[in-house]
A and B are shown apart, each in its own frame.
Chain A
Amino acid sequence: AQSVTQLGSHVSVSEGALVLLRCNYSSSVPPYLFWYVQYPNQGLQLLLKYTSAATLVKGINGFEAEFKKSETSFHLTKPSAHMSDAAEYFCAVSGNQGAQKLVFGQGTRLTINP
């Protein structure tokens, strides 16, 4: 069984400040981990994914995430927030064997203050 917990349903940061969105996972098998972004009235877009290669994963729009097995975490960061980063962010986990379904967290709404 797999699950994801996103700490904080709402995060607010100032423009130019560090963005940190927290994700902890539970998985009985080696996981693949994902971060998706969802803008209003749009589908989910993949930001980045961890598939057991490098533990520090770089994605689009300046985001990156680090897989920490000892902490069962996959937190998303961006050094400097931009107004266009305001959106809903979802962490997801799947197994690493064949076609495995994604299990999503409940999401974190990121607000950027000018």
Chain B
Amino acid sequence: EAGVVQSPRYKIIEKKQPVAFWCNPISGHNTLYWYLQNLGQGPELLIRYENEEAVDDSQLPKDRFSAERLKGVDSTLKIQPAELGDSAVYLCASSLMEGQEFFGPGTRLTVL
């Protein structure tokens, strides 16, 4: 069974530039999560989707961050414009309803 796929694995951009991350969850998993993991910290939930509906986006900084899951399968997280403080690892996870979360390898973002 293929796991959660994320791309790119690494991204380096200059501040004020836009950036996008892509996540393909495990087949059949209707719940998808985006987490932010700062260096030396645990992951923090940014947004959770049930199918194509964002059911918890309370921690998503909506002035510069956006996410979509148009067909209820893969998802894209975007930052525009990026700031120095956005340097972190962005993790995607998926699960069946109320089930165990499976995490992808993450995208490591460096903003210069």
Give A contacts to B, CB under 8 Å: 4, 9, 36, 41-46, 49, 90, 92, 98-99, 101-102, 104-107
Contact = CB atoms under 8 A, between A and B. Distances in A.
Contacts of B100: 46, 49
Nearest to B56: A101
B42 A43 contact: no
Given A9-B40, A49-B100, A107-B41, A101 B105 contact: no
B97 A104 contact: no
Nearest to A100: B98
29 contacts: A4-B42, A36-B103, A41-B9, A41-B108, A43-B3, A43-B4, A43-B91, A43-B105, A43-B106, A44-B91, A46-B100, A90-B42, A90-B43, A99-B48, A99-B55, A99-B95, A99-B97, A99-B98, A101-B33, A101-B48, A102-B43, A102-B45, A104-B43, A104-B44, A106-B40, A106-B41, A107-B40, A107-B41, A107-B42
Q: Secondary structure of the A side of the interface?
A: loop
Given A43-B4, A46-B100, A99-B97, A106 B42 contact: yes
Given A49-B100, A101-B56, A41 B105 contact: yes
